[in-house]
A and B are shown apart, each in its own frame.
Chain A
Amino acid sequence: MADAAPAADHDRTSPSLRLARVLAVGFGLHLKMMMRSSFDGFLGVLWPLFFATIAFLMFRAGAGGESLVFASFGAAVMGIWSSTSTSAGSAMQRERWHGTLELLVSAPVHFAAVLLPVTVAMSALGLYSMTATLLLSRFVFGVDLPFEQPVALAFAIVATVVSIGAMGFLLAVSFVRYRTAWALGNLLEYPVWLIAGFLVPLALLPAWVRPISWVLAPTWGVDAIREAASGGGPWPEMGLALALGAVYLVIGIAVLETVLSSARRAGSLALA
């Protein structure tokens, strides 16, 4: 019988190093792929700007001042969330159309390591719209944005991107099994805008909604960004965002094997 050992070229580095490489290369290539569509990029920037403009006009007509700063950072994170929630489903659907989903599933690496870089790349792409939104608020609406702790702000943004990417990962797990689950991402886009307090302070929401807000990483991510920008202490919020991101990852990884096994049983991986 043929040699049962993997080929001589097989990567014999430590599993953690190999995982890091798979994540990094996957992130880089998926980001490259997404950035190559100028039309997608144009829409990704333009779309959130419309919503941000509506928000700015409403806030300017109302309270103005501090509220506009609040809305600016909220609208900026909205772009990251929208990019992830709506794209995570379509990305899985695209893998189906391209016939690559089966190849990814049949690769000898945990599927979580394949999926996570895709969704984190999407939330990273949301940085485009975040930057555009902040520029819009500064130069079009004349909002005097504070940047009290630039280093902490940079960390807060990275923590927000990663935790939203992890949330997208949890969504994408369901998209692997159910072909039409991409609609779930679209469905969740606007409620999270509201519940995570992007534009409206959580204090204004009914008390029963707040526990839902607390388990959403974007809630803490946007808080951390606001705190860092205004010179407060962003670290607890940042920690919570990352911790929730880790919880999403653990849940996603735990159910992924079951989901994949179900897809292999149902034969739904190749169905577009």
Chain B
Amino acid sequence: MTCQYGEGYGNPPLATRPQALRLAPVTAVVEAIDLHRTYRTTTGTFRRRSIDVEAVRGVSFEIEEGELFGLLGPNGAGKTTTIKMLITLLIPTAGHARVLGHDVVDDAHWVRERIGYVFGGDRGLYERLSALDNLRYFAELYGVDPKRQRARIDELLELVGLEGREKERVEGYSRGMRQRLHIARGLLHDPPVLFLDEPTIGVDPVGARELRQTIAGLKDAGKTVLLTTHYMFEADSLCDRIAVVAKGRIVAEGTPRDLKGSVSEGVVVEIEVYGIEDSTVELLRTIEGVNSVAVEDRDQAQVVVVQADVGREPTHDVLARLDGVSLGRVTTREPTLEDAYVALVTEQPVAVDG
């Protein structure tokens, strides 16, 4: 497997990083150093009990100048929590983070002046105000020169394709238009570093493609970008490097090519089943040579996706353990990039104790 685990700040090794970076260390624009974040929540109505939930469990990475770095992982993996620590909204429970060499806790104000934050979804805008009013307000909050504000807003409206619609109230905007307005808002003060938290979530395919073009344009403009997403293809098409996050930890880091290389060999068996117990799935995981087992719902049936090492033909063993389960079609194919992602976030080959 080309994509390695474990090195640097107690995290997976960065063996997949470009050789030049390891030979000549460069001061990173964004540095996360063993970040931890725990939330306290309560359960029960009458007999309340506090529970500590570890959302981030020691995340470390570096982003170089002009790089588009992706944090890829499923919902609840800790991506947003990590980004919120980097943009000064959350104080880490342990560990440190620096942006442009400044600590995000000690120099929060300094950092805020130089970063932009864009998140996905409907929220984060004043619905009763127009796009123009929203941008005008945030331009003021971000200290954009009053003489340049209107010109800057016009530039950004054109960049995100909202020119001519800026006087309409945001409540009438589609999800895609809101998202483009979010990006314009994040760019108002022309920050060198941008944090984009799932910017294409819920946007239709055409709108998402346009947003990805805008994001690619940011990199071309020399911005350093941290992008979180749970779409593998999005990370693949946009990012220079990707860190895959699962259950609060980085389980792999490297270029998209490295990640693809990690699964270019091997075999995937897909078996259509009609009702499968968790215990049976666990049983499949014990087969020698099997790297991961995932179950996907498709219409009335489920599909068990088994990934195995090269040279292993697990079909016979898998079918033997599915004795008694109603089976449908069985197919064997070569693994894809998505299989790599699924394997990483479902299996987590490195020990993720605690």
In the complex where A11-B146, A99-B119 touch, is A104 in contact with B65 (Cβ < 8 A)?
no
Judging by beta carbons under 8 Å apart, are A100 and B144 in contact? no
Contacting B138 at CB < 8 Å: which of A8, A32, A107, A267? A107
Task: Give A102's nearest chain B residue, CB to CB.
Answer: B89
Whether A104 contacts B189 in the complex (CB less than 8 A), given A2-B100, A21-B146, A98-B127, comes out as no
| Size bracket, chain B contacts | 35 or more
Encode contact with B along A160-177: 1 for CB under 8 Å, 0 otherwise. 000000000000000000
A57-77 interface code vs B (CB 8 A; 1 in, 0 out): 000000000000000000000
Which A residues are CB-close (under 8 A) to B133? 29, 32
- A255 — which chain B residues lie within 8 A by C-beta? none
Given contacts A1-B65, A2-B192, A100-B126, contact A114 B146 (CB under 8 A): no
List 25 interface pairs A-B (beta carbons < 8 Å), by A numbering: A6-B143, A9-B144, A9-B145, A9-B189, A13-B145, A22-B140, A29-B126, A32-B129, A97-B123, A98-B123, A98-B127, A99-B123, A100-B123, A102-B89, A103-B185, A106-B117, A107-B112, A108-B141, A108-B142, A109-B141, A109-B142, A265-B91, A267-B37, A267-B39, A269-B89
Q: Is the interface of B mostly helix, strand, loop or mixed?
A: loop
Q: Could you give, for residues 1-42 of chain A, a 1 whenever the CB lies within 8 Å of some chain B CB and a 0 otherwise?
A: 111101111111100001001100110010011001100000
Is B124's CB under 8 angstroms from A98's CB?
Answer: yes
Given contacts A11-B144, A107-B138, A264-B91, contact A1 B124 (CB under 8 A): no
Asked if A258 is at the interface (CB within 8 A of a chain B CB), the reply is: no
Q: How far is the CB of B314 from chain A (nearest CB, A)?
A: 43
Cα distance A102–B37 in the bound complex, in angstroms: 18
A131 on interface, CB distance cutoff 8 Å: no
| B266 contacts A by Cβ under 8 Å | no
Q: Which of B113-167 contact A (CB under 8 A)?
A: 113-114, 117, 119, 121, 123-129, 133, 136-138, 140-146, 148, 152
* B220-232 interface code vs A (CB 8 A; 1 in, 0 out): 0010100000000
Cβ B138 vs Cβ A10 within 8 A: no
Distance in angstroms from A38 CB to nearest chain B CB is 11
Known: A33-B128, A98-B125, A264-B89. A4 touches B101 (CB 8 A): yes
Instruction: Produce 1/0 per residue, B70-103, CB < 8 A to A.
Output: 0000000000000010011111000000001100
In the complex, which of the residues A26, A32, A99, A107 has the most CB atoms of chain B within 10 Å of its own CB atom?
A107
CB distance from B194 to the nearest CB of A (A): 11
Which of B112, B117, B128, B222 is in CB contact (< 8 Å) with A36?
B128
Tell me the complex Cα distance, A100–B185, Å: 12
Q: Are A2 and B89 closer than 8 Å at their CB atoms?
A: no
CA distance A29 to B222 in the complex (A): 33
Interchain CA distance A9-B146 in the complex, whole Å:
9
Q: Give the one of B37, B117, B141 with max A CB within 10 A.
A: B141
Q: How far is the CA of A2 from the CA of B64 in the complex (A)?
A: 9
The answer to whether A33 touches B129 (Cβ under 8 A) is yes
Q: Which residue of B lies closest to A269 (CB)?
A: B89
Please determine whether B190 and A103 come into contact, CB atoms closer than 8 angstroms: no
CB atoms of A21 and B140 under 8 A apart: yes
* Across-interface contacts of B136 in A (CB, < 8 A): 25, 29
Q: Tell me the minimal C-beta distance from B40 to chain A in angstroms.
A: 7
